[in-house]
A and B are shown apart, each in its own frame.
Chain A
Amino acid sequence: MKKKVLSAVLCMSMAASLFAGCGSDAGTTDGGSDAGAADAGAAGAADAGTADAGDAGAADAGDAAANPIDTLIANTTDTVTLQLWCSEQEAYQTVMAELVDGFKSTYPEVTFDIQIGSVSEADAKDRVLEDVEAAADVYVFADDQISELVNAGALNEVATTYTYDIAQADAESTVEAVTVGGKMYAYPLTASNGYFLYYDKSVFDDADVASWEALLAKANEAGVKVGMNVADAWYLYSFFAGAGMELTMNEDQSNTCDWNSTSTSPTGAEVAEAIQTIATDPAFIAVNDQDSRAMYAQDLKAYVNGVWAVDDIIAAYGEDYGAVKLPTFNAGGQDVQMGSFAGYKFVGVNAYSKNVGWAMLLAEYISSEDGQAAIANATGESPTNTAVASTVSSPAIAALSAQSAFADRQVVGPNFWDPANSLGAQFVEGSVTDFQAALDEAVAGITQPANAQ
């Protein structure tokens, strides 16, 4: 018995010593970073003095903007290590590598070590929030993640820019999209994450794609299918938004939603009934993006999707590929133009970056006019920069910009998605008989307090 106790004690004491090892390690790194931060703080304070002086001098020269960068270059003695996360698509990886090289040659005085990791913009939030201290310094993410990233403190505030002015380079709606609580948190990169209607011109003409009713009638007549992933909250939104209903996020991450409204025209229930009528039409399939790709070449001849699908669409429809804004739908006797989410990709700087100054400059470089032009050329995505946007054109991008007049920026709390997915799935199933009750139930879920769970 005693021996057993002793062996246990031995283990424990060894364990203790082991922990002392790794524990103190953590301690020192912690202390290190703290000390580093403190150092940086001290240096910052000291530098602030010099920068002020420099500023005073520079004010004469009339070139105040360049000074912080010069100060930063002067203060940078070690190799600057940065990590950049962007989409795993080959086009993205290649163009980002070129941009990083360009960035390095812009600042020849500094030695950089910049690694490009492949984290798709759709996964950026999940990967960053896994361990924000270990995440990339600069990352590309989809606009729907911005509020959760800000909420977790993972984004560095864009208090000021150094090489270009976001407010001048981009449209006002874009600037609004990177603004959370009155502060900017990211650099706009592309404006192509929205959705619109692709169709095959050999089947449908311009009049057919103007409304769901005409589209479905023609599809039934021609024996082809049309599709939209209605069982997905992101797409389902377009019907209710088109009817002028409200969905926004409150300060505390909960949502305000009036999809069950009975006072609007059309009412929520009328919109819901219209959706179910469309979704249960024999020619309609609620297939998701991934499954749809194999179906373009078969009988899926019109589908609501975004620019990411353009290659597959062209491969299937060829010359006849067309793209337009979303059609109208008939709810309660009136034709309603569908709305949509305006989707962006943003470049964010990690608030925990060790080289936050350089990370900001890299993010600015990527999202600058030249950077966006390079990305638009390489990937076919439409830029947010208004100057570049005027030079890029394709049917898909034209459709996207036509739809953008009806698009809202996505300000949605996390509780929206699952209840709205579920609501869409009910319409697809065609099982809803009491539309008001179904909407009431969904709205209760969407608007539940953010901390209830």
Chain B
Amino acid sequence: MKKFLNGLKKYFAEFGTSVARGDIWTRLSLVIMGAGYAGRGQLVKGILMTLVECGFFAFTALFSWPYMAKLGTLGTVQREEVFDPLTMTKTVNDYDNSLLILLGGVIGILVIFAFLLLWISNMKTVYRIQTMKENGEHINSLREDLRTLINDRFHVTLLTLPSLGVLIINIIPILFMICIAFTNYDMNHQPPTYLFTWVGLANFKALFTSTTTITFGYVFARVLVWTLIWAVLATFTTYIGGILLAKFINNEKTIGKKVWRTLFIITIAIPQFVTLLLISKMFGDYGIVNGLCSKIGLTGFLQDIGLVSKGLSYIPFLSKPGWAHVMIILINIWVGVPYQMLIATGILMNIPNDQLESARIDGASEFQIFWKITMPYMLFITGPSLITSVIANINNFNVIYLLTNSYVTTNMAYANSNAKEVDLLITWLFTLTNDYSNFKMASVIGIVTFIICAVITLLSYTRMISGNKEEEFQ
């Protein structure tokens, strides 16, 4: 933190020095950004810099300013149309679109921020050139400047595109979503026809409220807990399952290794959603499995021991809490294990054989070898990918949505918040936006999901990868 503050202080101090000690050209750069370059003979660079400046002002004045000016209210003029029945044409007033205002406003502010950074760093560069000139050093021509981009400043060339991508596809949507969480963008305030506006922290308050009908607080806590349980269980069951399967297939005594491996890879080759839809049909209340179970008397047996309620004529594999939770995790093992098996097979083949041999010579049992050598090695290699899978499972839309799309909750508290017991945060969010156009609450949930994922990632990465454990495995 202190380092950061010092950096900040230095950053602005340098800017101050540039202005204070700059000569006429340098100071002129405060207004006309290219002046500092032009004054030292870098004419093209000067013109380019000035053009960027002009571009910025044109962009702000012509495009983003109209949006930013309305950012405080998110628009005041609602759409009104007048249809003329005689000519069959329609006259529409010049209405505000809250969504565009928000988007344009966010982009406009980001651009202003970027321009300020550019402006400050421009001053410093110009001042550096001034001192170089005073010391009689060589000042690069444009051609030389460009050449550095493929030599000593190659990283700049390489990083430009990815950074842009991150900005466009990550940062802007996230900022946009965060903003929506503070508005009343819902079913009754849908742009372009209707306006939405800022409501402060009301939505966050709703997320933590529980009354008879506003049950977001009640549901949110339960959905969150199930999401976390699911993410951890789904990840570790498939992980352990994959390793065991790989061990089994790699064992010398296993016959027909290739056949086994192919069989499991075929399950990957079938698109996941097809598999999942088929399974959800099979385990449906009136599906094949239930037909079999009632024929062999399993349904009756489960009713006798109280696992299935007497009123049901079927086993509610995917239609009652508890049953559905367990089944989802079991089905996920079946669907997810082949992937982990493939990964584990590759790593198992790479375990240094000398370690295994020396362990055997020392008289270690197979289990000891597995527990003391194989597993730590696997964990070390796959640690980062494990974290990624936990995050991916938190957002594992497919499995949950496809398996439980006909699930109806009997708990009124869930129903009042449009959720069900088996929902993850992500599927709940989907229902809220897709079926109920409740974008404001969906954004709030999205932010919470994002925070959870970010915290888990940060914590586990720093814990697992900070130390250099590579030595331990050599």
CB nearest neighbor in A for B431 = A418
Neighbouring A residues of B417 by C-beta, 8 Å: 453
CB nearest neighbor in A for B406 = A288
A387 contacts partner chain B, Cβ-Cβ < 8 Å: no
Of A86-94, A261-269, A338-346, A444-452, the one touching chain B: A444-452
Q: How far is the CA of A290 from the CA of B406 in the complex (A)?
A: 10
Q: How far is the CA of A3 from the CA of B128 in the complex (A)?
A: 13
Q: How far is the CA of A287 from the CA of B406 in the complex (A)?
A: 11
> Interface code A330-354, partner B: CB below 8 Å = 1, 0 otherwise?
0000000000000000000001100
Q: A44-B91, A151-B188, A425-B409 are in contact. Are A5 and B213 (CB under 8 A)?
A: no
Interchain nearest-CB distance for A153 vs B (Å): 2
Neighbouring A residues of B216 by C-beta, 8 Å: 453
- Whether B83 lies near A159 (C-beta < 8 A) is yes
Neighbouring A residues of B88 by C-beta, 8 Å: 68-69, 71-72, 162, 356-357, 360-361
CB nearest neighbor in B for A287 = B286
Q: A44-B84, A356-B89 are in contact. Are A7 and B156 (CB under 8 A)?
A: yes
A213 contacts partner chain B, Cβ-Cβ < 8 Å: no
> Interface code A32-43, partner B: CB below 8 Å = 1, 0 otherwise?
001001101101
Interchain nearest-CB distance for B377 vs A (Å): 36
Q: How far is the CA of A23 from the CA of B66 in the complex (A)?
A: 12
Of A45-53, A111-119, A398-406, the one touching chain B: A45-53
Q: A15-B168, A414-B187 are in contact. Are A10 and B411 (CB under 8 A)?
A: no
Neighbouring B residues of A351 by C-beta, 8 Å: 81, 193
B399 contacts partner chain A, Cβ-Cβ < 8 Å: no
- Whether B416 lies near A16 (C-beta < 8 A) is no
> Interface code B71-100, partner A: CB below 8 Å = 1, 0 otherwise?
000000001010111111111101000001
Of B57-65, B338-346, B365-373, the one touching chain A: B57-65
B248 contacts partner chain A, Cβ-Cβ < 8 Å: no
Query: How many A-B residue contacts, CB cutoff 8 Å?
Result: 252
Q: Which of A7, A9, A52, A448 makes the CB contact (< 8 A) with B159?
A: A7
Q: How far is the CA of A357 from the CA of B124 in the complex (A)?
A: 61
> Interface code B131-162, partner A: CB below 8 Å = 1, 0 otherwise?
00000000000000000000001011001100
CB nearest neighbor in B for A148 = B187
| A interface: dominant SS | helix
A171 contacts partner chain B, Cβ-Cβ < 8 Å: no
A19 contacts partner chain B, Cβ-Cβ < 8 Å: yes
B163 contacts partner chain A, Cβ-Cβ < 8 Å: yes
Neighbouring A residues of B188 by C-beta, 8 Å: 151, 252-253, 450-451
Neighbouring B residues of A133 by C-beta, 8 Å: 192
Q: Which of B56, B94, B159, B409 makes the CB contact (< 8 A) with A16?
A: B56
Interchain nearest-CB distance for B57 vs A (Å): 11
A24 contacts partner chain B, Cβ-Cβ < 8 Å: yes
Q: How far is the CA of A363 from the CA of B417 in the complex (A)?
A: 37
Q: A12-B114, A414-B436, A430-B311 are in contact. Are A445 and B190 (CB under 8 A)?
A: no
- Whether B91 lies near A41 (C-beta < 8 A) is yes
- Whether A132 lies near B85 (C-beta < 8 A) is no
A75 contacts partner chain B, Cβ-Cβ < 8 Å: yes
Neighbouring A residues of B272 by C-beta, 8 Å: none
- Whether B168 lies near A41 (C-beta < 8 A) is no
Interchain nearest-CB distance for B41 vs A (Å): 21
- Whether A3 lies near B156 (C-beta < 8 A) is yes
Q: How far is the CA of A34 from the CA of B206 in the complex (A)?
A: 38
- Whether A20 lies near B55 (C-beta < 8 A) is yes
Q: Which of A67, A285, A352, A418 makes the CB contact (< 8 A) with B415?
A: A418
Q: Which of A37, A287, A428 makes the CB contact (< 8 A) with B91?
A: A37
Neighbouring B residues of A152 by C-beta, 8 Å: 187, 190, 193-194, 437
Interchain nearest-CB distance for B118 vs A (Å): 5
B309 contacts partner chain A, Cβ-Cβ < 8 Å: yes
B313 contacts partner chain A, Cβ-Cβ < 8 Å: yes
Q: A3-B153, A352-B192, A429-B309 are in contact. Are A68 and B87 (CB under 8 A)?
A: yes
* Centre residue among B83, B87, B194, B406 by max chain A CB count within 10 A: B87
Q: How far is the CA of A17 from the CA of B92 in the complex (A)?
A: 32
> Interface code B108-143, partner A: CB below 8 Å = 1, 0 otherwise?
001101110110010011000000000000000000
Neighbouring B residues of A51 by C-beta, 8 Å: 84, 86-87
A224 contacts partner chain B, Cβ-Cβ < 8 Å: no
- Whether A431 lies near B309 (C-beta < 8 A) is yes
Q: A55-B86, A356-B90 are in contact. Are A450 and B187 (CB under 8 A)?
A: yes
- Whether B63 lies near A27 (C-beta < 8 A) is yes
Q: How far is the CA of A11 from the CA of B111 in the complex (A)?
A: 11
B349 contacts partner chain A, Cβ-Cβ < 8 Å: no
5 further interface pairs, Cβ-Cβ under 8 Å (given A26-B100, A152-B437, A156-B83): A51-B86, A126-B434, A291-B286, A356-B88, A430-B309
29 contacts between A and B (CB under 8 A): A2-B121, A5-B121, A7-B163, A9-B121, A11-B159, A12-B117, A13-B52, A16-B59, A19-B107, A20-B55, A23-B63, A23-B104, A24-B63, A37-B92, A47-B87, A48-B84, A71-B87, A75-B89, A232-B408, A291-B284, A351-B193, A357-B87, A422-B408, A422-B414, A430-B309, A445-B415, A448-B416, A453-B216, A453-B417
Q: Which residues from chain B sit less than 8 Å from chain A, CB to CB?
A: 7, 11, 52, 55-56, 58-59, 62-64, 79, 81, 83-92, 94, 100, 104, 107, 110-111, 113-115, 117-118, 121, 124-125, 153, 155-156, 159-160, 163-164, 167-168, 184, 186-188, 190, 192-194, 206, 212-214, 216, 284-287, 309-313, 320, 406, 408-412, 414-418, 434-438, 441
Q: Which residues from chain A sit less than 8 Å from chain B, CB to CB?
A: 1-3, 5-20, 23-24, 26-27, 30, 34, 37-38, 40-41, 43-45, 47-48, 51-52, 55, 67-69, 71-72, 75, 126, 129, 132-133, 148, 151-154, 156-157, 159-160, 162, 231-232, 252-253, 280, 282, 285, 287-288, 290-291, 295, 351-352, 356-357, 360-361, 414-415, 418-419, 421-426, 428-431, 441-442, 444-445, 448-453
Top 5 nearest A-B pairs (CB, nearest first) are A153-B193, A430-B311, A357-B88, A12-B114, A448-B213
